Structure 1
């Protein structure tokens, strides 16, 4: 059973896909619950602004899906950050090696009607949910292309593999956020469903907080919640103070 949040003491970090919205066959096919933007605004206000959406998606994409809500955010696995709603998004500079991998992926012919190559600018993700039987080959290809470059790393998630600059993750997002106002001095709580969220949970735990795993599967999280619907119901209760 999840604990109630302490409005003056907790900082909440929320994954997006698989946590706030159901995972879709293609990233663009997600359906955002109509009440979610208002819920995010209400809960963020109750936490004094110490709520952030932490995602592999870009911050501008999160904004488009959750408009008109205003919230702190970390996108592209910690490579984009906006810790106060009125601040600009701060982005890292991509290494030249990423351009080499980008060109190789384009020339590989890997993309088709079932496999999508998503160029996020600071990273490149290959989605194969519609072709799970190709997963091993796709992951191996991405590892091979990134292997010559020490400044790149490969991140595998649910039916997606991503090549990105090394040194950034949802852990670095939490660590960075917890150094900023209004998050600093609070207890971090990270809620997520995917392998990539384990980094965020690990950082939250190391900083005196805890992780919450959405759904089944192995996790280091101290607590667990069943589904996206259960997450939204719990968040709604927290936003109302009960």
Structure 2
């Protein structure tokens, strides 16, 4: 793909994101982990940005962001837990390219729904594995996700880092690979812990609805080139 083709694709991705934001988002809400790609919102929506670190801390932790303009972090909080937020206080929550970074996605979605008002909107965009560096990794099974939720995610943490080093970093040297895993775990480096295709992510949401009785309706699913956009309404 040429630079011009990449820019055109990125422009299309953002255009469809804006389209659904204009359709569904209004009132007061939060966006988690926006970094340098905040969702473009309609005038009817006011947002505060949440991240686990301040901007200077993010740039120190991720040197590749050093020269990138990041949104100002209004609230420092763990996006998986949102402990600084009371129940039913937000009209919308935006979490684009965030769920795959969560070690316990089911608990995360439970908390995202917890802070939403009735009829509040959860706006999710999840990368399609075939269109990113996850292409060689296996899909995260529903059984795996349930075990993370029921037993905690510590059991699978090292496994995810090992898979990352092998299938994303593609480190061939076993000794160096083990060292890399230890360093990533020590830093609690944010990788894609979980991997989905659009279909598999929808199956995951259906499981949350049917088996765990999470209080949402699936309002919209859209294949947005290299990601899947899903709009959930709290009920």
TM-score higher than 0.5: no
Q: Which has the higher contact order (CA 8 A, sep 6+)?
A: 1
Question: In proportion to residue count, which structure has more helix?
Answer: 2
TM-score (norm 1): 0.28
